[in-house]
Structure 1
């Protein structure tokens, strides 16, 4: 199983996952043109994508879905409430390309098993995914106000995590956002801070080679170096030394990460 974080941030989010048999996207929050360019940057193409799994209906996760679905006849997977919330946002998607992926269930595509799980975010019915192939596991969890024990149970012991590290609390509190927006971000249906992300990670990382991709960083209320330092310090205070078996990686709003094997 190989993957690349094609884009991550408030301007657009998408992740590419492939096996020897199949290739998928989680979300397509960039324009169709930019999605095509990001895939080209890692040597891949939309013509090889077998489906797009939607996490929730916010624009930075679904912006390109309608055009991509119609242009490439690619299947789209989402739960029922998310499909209803996307009506009017993605244009017409033929019935034959609309598939329901229910919350807390799993689907299999050849050797790849995909499990959905609920998160806490201000969307209709937000959910994220864990990808399993043989004994390897990739967990994707962003856009949640907190990480519950149930969520931790789903992602526990993954070989790679795409994990939200959205904001530094002090930067957010002192920043230019209106108080209503700050309150929403800090709420249980907002986004996870660097510190809270690190604490959650310390409880799910196993004693093995693990990649952690810090994702969905706020452009205004975070910095890559700060997120990495905050997470590293918290993990090391819990006895998890980064750089040995746990490796932290940046993600970017404009360029994809290297295509790597889980």
Structure 2
């Protein structure tokens, strides 16, 4: 598998995954002009990506969807019924062939096993994804206030995790954000804090199986790289079991697993 994070954070989210001859977009949270530029930077052709997976309908995950669909290069869209209803008529009318998926209902598409994971977020029916192809496994979980422990076994043994560590609660509470927004981020339908994310990752990455963690959806004003690193060091049994990358609004170098 090849993974390219085109953008990650509250200003926009989009990822490109290549599995053999198949290429998938996860979300479309940046403008089509930015998508084209980032794909050009990677020497990738946007016309060759015919499949799109949507995690949920919030604007930082779909703001570029209209422009992407108007290109008519996307032939198949996978999304939950709740996300479909949340898109609105203008976008749903542009959708090509689409398939309704449900959390915890695994399916196969062009030789790739895909398991939608139920998330806890203030969207209609948000999901994360586990992609598996032969012995390769990728987990993508962002925009969730917590991950239920019943998923821990399912999440183990991946070579790569794209999982959010959104905020430092202390920085968030001392920020200039309105109180209602602070409460939204902190509650069980908000976002994972650094500590919550580190606890989760320490449990699903086993000590004898090193994995890559691409830390996603990092708050620009309520988090720092140092805060995330401190949470990892204070929580992990051993930091040698994880290789960490930090995503942002800038394209992340291709990662192979």
**Does TM-score exceed 0.5, indicating one fold?**
yes
After superposition, give the CA deviation of every residue in 1:133-189 in whole Å (9 maximum; x if it has no partner): 111110000100112113323322211000110000110011111111101100000
Q: After the TM superposition, which segments of 4 or more aligned residues of structure 1 sit over 4 Å from their partners?
A: none
Match of 1:20 in 2: 20
Match of 1:257 in 2: 252
Looking at structure 1, the residues matched to 193 and 228 of structure 2 have their Cα atoms a distance apart, in angstroms, of 9
Q: How many residues align?
A: 255
The answer to whether 1:248 aligns with 2:248 is: no
After superposition, give the CA deviation of every residue in 1:2-48 in whole Å (9 maximum; x if it has no partner): 11111110000011101122000111100111111122222212111
Match of 1:53 in 2: 53
Contact (CA 8 Å) 1:165, 1:217: kept in 2 or not? yes
TM-score (normalised: structure 2): 0.94
Looking at structure 2, the residues matched to 65 and 37 of structure 1 have their Cα atoms a distance apart, in angstroms, of 16
Looking at structure 1, the residues matched to 171 and 3 of structure 2 have their Cα atoms a distance apart, in angstroms, of 31
Task: Extract unaligned runs of 5+ from structure 1.
Answer: none
Contact (CA 8 Å) 2:84, 2:92: kept in 1 or not? no
Q: CA deviation at 1:89?
A: 6.1
Q: CA deviation at 1:108?
A: 2.0
Looking at structure 1, the residues matched to 128 and 66 of structure 2 have their Cα atoms a distance apart, in angstroms, of 20
The answer to whether 1:40 aligns with 2:40 is: yes
After superposition, give the CA deviation of every residue in 1:216-244 in whole Å (9 maximum; x if it has no partner): 01111011232123223321xxx22x2x3
Pairing of 1:159-170 with structure 2 (within 5 A): 159-170=159-170
Task: Extract unaligned runs of 5+ from structure 2.
Answer: none
TM-score (normalised: structure 1): 0.92
Q: Secondary structure at the match of 1:72?
A: coil
